[in-house]
Chain A
Amino acid sequence: MASDGLRSNGGLGLLPSPAGAWPCIASVLAAYVLLCALLRYRQKRAIEARFHSAIVANNLSLLQAYEIQKWLSEQEFPATFSASIFFALFKVWHMARFSPPPQPVLTEQAHRPTASLPSHGY
C-alpha cells in the first residue's frame, strides 16, 4: 500500500504531482516579480527623495550626479549599462574617419594628472 502511494505521488509524497506543481510555480514566480517590482520602485523613490532638494533647486552637483550614475550602472541596470557601453565601443571601433585632419590640438602634457574637478556650469 505504502509503495503504491509513493508511486502515485511520483516520489515520497512530499512534493505535488507534476500537474499540481504549476500553480505553485506560478505563485512563486508572481511573488518574485511582485517583490522585485516593490523593492526596485522603493529604491527608485529613495533615490528621488535623497536628491529632492537638488532637483527642486535645479542644482545637482557633480558628486550627486556621480552617485546617481553609479547606482544606475552598478545596481539598477548593471547588465544593460555594461552591454550598452561595450556596444558603444564597438560602434566607435568601426567608424570610418572621413573628417579632414583638424587644426593641431594643443594638448597639455598628456600624462600630467590634471583631472581636477571641473566646474560644470551651463
Chain B
Amino acid sequence: MATGQIASRRPYDLERTSKRAADTSVLLTNMVIGRPGSTRAIEAIARTRFLHAQYRREGKISDDDMLYTLSLFVLNPIQWVDRFEWRRLTDLERCALAIFWKALGEDLDIPYGSLPSSSRGWADALHWLRELDEWSRAYADRHVKADTSNAILAAATMGMVLHRVPDMAKPAGQYLVSVILGPHISNAMG
C-alpha cells in the first residue's frame, strides 16, 4: 500500500525513501497544522487525494488500506502518549483527536463502511475511536505479514532512520526500532 513502491519497481534506496518521507511529512504537517478550511489545509488535502486517486481507482490501494493508515495516525499518538509520557490523554483530548481525524478522513474520501456502526452512526467520537481501534488491530492481524518486498523496503527505511547513528550502535538501534514497532511489523519486515 506504499504508494511510491506500487508506482515503481525501481530498487529501494536511501535517497528515494528519504525524499518520500520528506514529501509525506510536508503534506501531513500541512493537513494537521493547517486550520480546517484554510488554504494551507485544503491544498494539502487536495494534493494528497490527487496523489492517491490513481492507485485507488486502479485498486492498488483499497479503502480499507486508507482507513488503516488513518487509524494509525489517530491511534499511534494516543498509544505512545499513554506508554511514554508523564500522563495519559484525557477523554476530552481523545475526543478532540477523534473528531479532527474523522473529519480529515472524510475530506480524504475515506469511507468508514468497515466499522460496525457505520450504517446506524456512532454515539460519539469516542465510540468511533473505539471501533476504529478494534478494527485496526484486526486488520493488522490479517494483513501485516512477512513479505520479501517489505524486507527490502524495511532495509531502506531503517537506513534512513539510523543514518546518523554510528555503525557500531546500529544493531542496537535496529533492535530498538523493532521493539517500538512491535512484533507484527517486525515480523512483516522479515
* A residues at B contact (CB < 8 Å): 40, 44, 47-48, 51, 55, 58, 60, 62-70, 72-74, 77, 80-81, 83-99, 101-102, 104-105, 107-108, 110-118, 120-122
Q: Is the CB of B95 within 8 A of A60?
A: yes
User: Assuming A97-B143, A115-B41, A121-B121, is B56 touching A85 (CB within 8 A)?
Assistant: no
Q: Is the CB of A73 within 8 A of B77?
A: yes
Which residues of the partner chain A approach B85 to less than 8 Å between Cβ atoms?
A: 77, 80
Which residues of the partner chain B approach A104 to less than 8 Å between Cβ atoms?
A: 57, 59
A110 vs B143: C-alpha distance in the bound complex, in angstroms?
Answer: 27
Closest Cβ–Cβ distance, residue B119 to chain A (whole Å): 13
User: Assuming A81-B77, A93-B153, A94-B185, is B1 touching A122 (CB within 8 A)?
Assistant: no
Say whether B175 faces chain A, with CB atoms less than 8 Å apart.
no
5 tightest A-B CB contacts, nearest first: A110-B53, A101-B59, A68-B96, A65-B99, A96-B147
Q: What per-residue 1/0 map shows which CB atoms of B96-113 lie under 8 Å from chain A? A: 111110110011010000
Which residues of the partner chain B approach A40 to less than 8 Å between Cβ atoms?
A: 86
Closest Cβ–Cβ distance, residue B151 to chain A (whole Å): 9
Closest Cβ–Cβ distance, residue A46 to chain B (whole Å): 12
Say whether B174 faces chain A, with CB atoms less than 8 Å apart.
no
Residue from B33, B53, B72, B143 whose CB has the most chain A CB atoms within 10 Å? B72
A60 vs B56: C-alpha distance in the bound complex, in angstroms?
Answer: 32
Which residues of the partner chain B approach A105 to less than 8 Å between Cβ atoms?
A: 56-57, 59, 63
Which residues of the partner chain A approach B5 to less than 8 Å between Cβ atoms?
A: 93
User: Assuming A69-B97, A74-B33, is B77 touching A60 (CB within 8 A)?
Assistant: no
Q: Is the CB of B181 within 8 A of A87?
A: yes
Say whether B14 faces chain A, with CB atoms less than 8 Å apart.
no
Which parts of B160-188 form the interface with A (CB within 8 Å)? Answer: 161, 177, 180-181, 185, 188
Q: Is the CB of B77 within 8 A of A96?
A: no
Q: Is the CB of B81 within 8 A of A94?
A: no
Which residues of the partner chain B approach A77 to less than 8 Å between Cβ atoms?
A: 77, 81, 85
